[in-house]
């Protein structure tokens, strides 16, 4: 009986590992957009934090350099938050029902 239980657990662990790998691959394809300055600065990145595009409204190019830098940083931060939220949502189904310790975060 014990051997069968262990084999079952190993099979479940392997299936979960395969599902995690597929989910990680899917996250690399999902893009999110962060914005700042009412959409005048936009950052598009994947849920694996690979930046794809940065768009800056031409009207900002003549403005204050410090303000533009702040807007770019804010757009990046917005994109990162959206990527993290999307990744967490997509991965939550894989960890549902798993007895994880409080505060434990899966590597994604």
Q: Give the CATH number, domain containing residue 49.
A: 3.30.1310.10
Residue 56 within a domain: yes
Q: Is residue 52 part of a domain?
A: yes
User: What does the alpha-carbon distance between residue 105 and residue 88 come to, in Å, rounded to a whole number?
Assistant: 10
Residues 32 and 82 sit within 8 Å (Cβ to Cβ): yes
Distance CA 36, CA 77 (A): 9
Q: Give the tens place of pLDDT for each residue, 19-67.
A: 888 888 999 999 999 999 999 999 999 999 999 999 999 999 986 999 9
| Residue labelled with tokens 């350099």 | 65
Report yes or no on 65 lying in a domain. yes
Supply the pLDDT for residue 46: 96
Give the number of domains in the chain.
1
Confirm whether 64 is domain-assigned: yes
Question: How far is residue 108's CA from residue 48's CA, in Å, rounded to a whole number?
Answer: 8
At 56-96, the pLDDT tens digits run 999 999 869 999 999 999 999 999 999 999 998 888 876 66
Q: What range defines the domain where residue 65 resides?
A: 42-93
Is residue 23 assigned to a domain? Answer: no
Please check whether residue 71 is in contact with residue 37, taking contact to mean a CB–CB distance below 8 angstroms. yes
């Amino acid at each position: 009986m014990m051997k069968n239980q262990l084999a079952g657990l190993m099979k479940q662990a392997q299936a979960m590992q395969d599902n995690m790998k597929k989910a990680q691959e899917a996250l690399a394809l999902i893009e999110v957009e962060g914005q700042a300055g009412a959409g005048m600065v936009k950052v598009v990145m994947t849920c694996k934090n690979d930046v794809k595009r940065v768009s800056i409204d031409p009207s900002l190019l003549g403005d204050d350099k410090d303000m533009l830098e702040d807007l770019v940083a804010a757009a990046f931060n917005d994109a990162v938050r959206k990527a993290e939220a999307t990744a967490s949502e997509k991965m939550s189904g894989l960890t549902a029902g798993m007895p994880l310790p409080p505060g434990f975060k899966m590597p994604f």
